[in-house]
Amino acid sequence: MCLTLPCSKSILRLSYLHSEKIVHRDVKTENMLLDRNRTLKIADFGVARVEASNPNDMTGETGTLGYMAPEVLNGNPYNRKCDVYSFGICLWEIYCCDMPYPDLSFSEVTTAVVRQNLRPEIPRCCPSSLGNVMKRCWDASPDKRPEMDEVVTLLETIDTSKGGGMIKDQRKGCLFFRKRGP
């Protein structure tokens, strides 16, 4: 049995967008919608654009705080790998049922993510194979992040038949919610 995540179809859709040289630039769980058939859709293409052939043409802080890649936060040139970073944060959020950095201001997140390599803490109960995918997606270097089609492969190969390496934790599922948003 392999890992089935509600986000698996969004990975395929992001992989397709990237194959068409489109960068979403605002990948976050709020932009992943389920219809009544439980088909996952990617929404909000308001800031999406065709990937620039010259990386210097894509700069500027575009996206949502907490999901933005270090290169975006720093105003450096970026490409489709910023979506991979954001997707790694989404994986963490879906697994943990929590938002990244809810108590930090924009400047605190920017400083911590860019200069101190701050990333969300992966819980001990998270299967190491899933935690490793998250870490690869949110690597500080865009060149070291996998392409979205590789993320699909990595997630499809996680064996959950014996719990996927999960250990018991104090919290039960997603029943423990903290206040979301600002």
pLDDT 10s digits, 17-46:
888 899 999 999 999 887 787 777 788 988
pTM above 0.75?
yes
56 — pLDDT class (breaks 50, 70, 90)? confident
Residue whose C-alpha is closest to residue 66's, from 92, 34, 96, 95: 92
Residue 130, Cβ neighbours under 10 Å: how many? 22
Instruction: Point out the residues that are catalytic.
Output: 26
The encoded tokens of residue 141 equal: 């270097």
Ramachandran angles phi, psi of 23, nearest 5°: -110, 125
- Give the domains, in start order, of the chain with CATH numbers: 8-163 (1.10.510.10)
Cα separation, 5 vs 2, in Å, equals 10
- Average pLDDT of the segment spanning 129-158: 93
**Tokens 């890992």 map to which residue?**
3
Residue 78, Cβ neighbours under 10 Å: how many? 27
